[in-house]
Each structure stands twice: as C-alpha cells, then as structure tokens.
Amino acid sequence: MTKKITAAITGVGAYLPEYILDNIELSHMVDTSDEWIMSRIGIKTRHILKGEGLGTSYLGERAVNDLLEKTNTDPMEIDMVICATVTPDMFFPSTANLICHKTGMKKAFGYDLSAACSGFLFALSTASKFIETGTYKKVIVVGTDKMSSIIDYTDRSTCPIFGDGAGAVLLEPSTEGLGVLDAILHSDGGGGQHLYMKAGGSAYPATEETVKKRWHYVYQEGQIVFKAAVSHMADTAIELMERNNLTADDIRYLVPHQANIRIINATAHRMGLPEEKCMININKFGNTTAATIPLCLWDYETRLHKGDNLILAAFGGGFTWGAVYVKWAYNGGDFTK
Ligand code: UT7
C-alpha cells in the first residue's frame, strides 16, 4: 500500500532589515512611552526597511536566499512559490514573481495570497495541498511585509505595533506523517471595517484627496480587533487540538501570530499551555503581519526536534483567522535531514 504523502517543513529562512526603531525614538515621533508600549503591546524594537525603491520583495528575496542556502537547495529545483503579503511591491506583477526572478527560481511559478496576519497560515495550508497530491516536490511559502510603507507615523495607536520582515519555509513530501497535518481556516468580511486600508485599491484609487485624508494608512479599531483575536485564535486552536486528540501535554509549542503580548498570553492560557511552550519574539520584531509565524519558527528552530507537535495560530484583518497543526520534521540546526 502506498503511504500517504504529507507536506513537511524541511527548512526555515528569514530576513530582518538593519534599521531598528526602538520605543525611545518612537516617543520622539508621537505622544507615547516605552512603559505604555511594553505594558499594553509588549514591543521594545521593530526592524524597518529603509532605502529608495525597496519593497516587500527585497525582504522576501533575502529570506528565500537564506532558506535556499541553509537547505543547500538549488533555486532551479523549486516548483512553486506562494507569497503571503498585504504590502506587495505593486499590484502586478505579484511579489512572488519578483522573488522568483531575483532568486533565480526560474522553473517555479508563483503567486501572492492576501489574508493579512493570517496570510502565512492560509498560504502554508494551500501550498501543502500541492505537495500532498504529489503534484510538486519543492514548494516555498514566504510571509513578507513592509508594514512601514502603510503605517501613519503620526498615529500613536498604530505606529508602535508594526515592523518589517520576512520568513520563508520549504515544503517537501514526507511519508513518515510529518509536516502540515491539519488546518482550520476562517474568513469573515463583516470584520473588514475594523482593520483595513481604505484607499489605493480599485474602490478608492490614489488621488490628492485620499492622500490628504490619510486613507493610504492602516486603520484599526484596536479594542474590537483585540477581543475578536483572543476568542477566535483560542477557539480555533482548541478545536484543532481536540479533533487531533492532542492535549496540552502533547504540544511542544504554540506558534502564535505576534500582534500583542496580551493576546498571545491569553491564547496560550486558554489552551492550557505554560509560557515556556509559547514562541514569543514580539518584543524584538513587533507585528510583521505575514512574517510573524515563520520568523518565530526561524527564531526557535534550534530548539525544535523531529516529531514535535506545533500549533500555529493567527488572527488578522479581513477578518481572517485559523490554526494549523504541524509535526516538525527535523532536529533544529540539522539541515541534512
Ligand atoms: O495583527 C492584526 C491584528 N491586530 C491586533 O490584534 C491588535 C489588537 N489590538 C491591540 O493590540 C490593542 O487594542 C492596541 C495595542 C491597538 C491598543 O491597546 P488598548 O489597550 O486597547 O488601548 P486603547 O485603544 O483602549 O487606548 C487606551 C488609552 C487611550 O487613551 P484614553 O482615551 O484612555 O485617554 C489611548 O488614546 O491609551 C491611549 N493610547 C496610547 N497611549 C500612549 C493609545 N495608543 C497609545 C500609545 N501611547 N502608543
């Protein structure tokens, strides 16, 4: 009997731009303080991409090159790339296309996927299907966002939250039951009005007026989003654990989207997980939207072992949310598999 194919994550790469914006510098830009940001959000620093004409593909390209190098993979071996982002370099061509070109993945086809902070999970789940069906052997999922390009640095309620960064994973077939094993994903367009960027699309193309009204920046009703994030992330993660017969003892790590330390702690608490079973790096990188989850995997990679059960969970604009169950496929730092 042929064994079931699953999509194993066989490597993680990342890139964070050099410039670090800390809370002290922010407190000179808007009326805020390190104390407020640390206690209400839990962010100390975030990385910002500077440089004329540098967009999200610049970050994604570097994360993919890191991944290819670490996994000793020839770019020509890659079949497909899905890029999760809400800050594409431009409407078209897609950021995935640009990344494929810049990294020499000439045989791959690619496309972008837009699901805000849940983008990486939506892309990971989609990509895993192309592996499971036996259609492709090497698929890359990139989560990359240059959030600084759509943040209003005069708005103290949003500007401390976000940062720029990119993370990428390689998916390959496994017949050992490793990799992406289950997913629960949701969208609710009714939540769209609470977290969005109004202009720049086809409804309100850029005009002098849209710029004056500051419609090209992230708008967020923080408390509404906060409450929805806690309840949906925890409910979905618990549902996923239950239907896979997993208890808190079986979970090695929760890998939560990094939006607010209070959301992360509340989600972990509701899942019955102690703090040490929760990946946290929001203090260093802030909310990098589609990049937070691969950046966590990259940051904690050396602590992971083959067979570890991970629950990835996210909530974001749209609203979108979900959880993915991953059985880790290699020992941290062992790229020979
Ligand atoms: O990743 C996508 C999903 N996004 C999220 O999950 C974000 C969810 N929301 C949040 O994380 C939080 O709601 C925020 C961090 C955005 C805001 O925190 P909050 O504890 O909900 O604050 P708030 O909006 O209720 O504001 C409380 C007070 C207000 O002052 P008054 O009206 O009580 O006098 C704000 O004006 O804090 C004030 N405030 C600030 N004070 C200092 C808001 N931002 C700041 C700031 N520094 N940066």
**Contact at 8 Å (CB) between 299 and 330?**
no
61-92 pLDDT per residue, tens: 999 999 999 999 999 999 999 999 999 999 99
Determine the distance separating the centroid of ligand 1 and the alpha carbon of 222, expressed in angstroms.
6
Q: What is the pLDDT of residue 3?
A: 86
**Contact at 8 Å (CB) between 175 and 200?**
no
**Considering the chain, what is the average pLDDT of its residues?**
97
Nearest-CA residue for atom 15 of ligand 1: 41
Q: What is the pLDDT of residue 100?
A: 98
293-323 pLDDT per residue, tens: 999 999 999 999 999 999 999 999 999 999 9
Q: What is the pTM of this model?
A: 0.97
Which sign does the torsion angle of CA 121, 123, 129, 134 carry? negative
**Any residues with Cβ below 6 Å from ligand 1, and which?**
32, 36-37, 40-41, 117, 156-157, 160, 222-223, 225-226, 229, 259-260, 263, 287, 315-316
85-135 pLDDT per residue, tens: 999 999 999 999 999 999 999 999 999 999 999 999 999 999 999 999 999
Mean pLDDT for the stretch of residues 256-265: 98
pLDDT band at 183 (very low <50, low <70, confident <90, very high): very high
- What is the percent of the chain where pLDDT is above 70? 98
Closest atom of ligand 1 to CA, residue 159: 48
Question: What is the C-alpha radius of gyration for the chain, rounded to an integer number of angstroms?
Answer: 19
Mean pLDDT for the stretch of residues 267-276: 97
Task: Give the residue, out of 157, 195, 224, 263, with the most ligand 1 atoms within 8 A of its beta carbon, to mutate for a pocket test.
Answer: 157
Q: What is the pLDDT of residue 337?
A: 47
Q: Over 50: is that where the pLDDT of 197 sits?
A: yes
Q: What is the pLDDT of residue 335?
A: 55
Residue at token pair 């990259």: 298
Determine the distance separating the centroid of ligand 1 and the alpha carbon of 221, expressed in angstroms.
9
Residues with catalytic function = 117, 257, 287
Q: What angle do CA 13, 141, 145 make, to 5 degrees?
A: 75
Task: Give the residue, out of 21, 23, 29, 40, with the most ligand 1 atoms within 8 A of its beta carbon, to mutate for a pocket test.
Answer: 40
Determine the distance separating the centroid of ligand 1 and the alpha carbon of 36, expressed in angstroms.
9
Closest atom of ligand 1 to CA, residue 225: 8
Q: What is the pLDDT of residue 196?
A: 97
Q: Over 80: is that where the pLDDT of 260 sits?
A: yes
Angstrom distance (rounded) from CA 280 to CA 303: 13
Stated as kind and residue range, the H or E segment containing 231 is helix 222-243
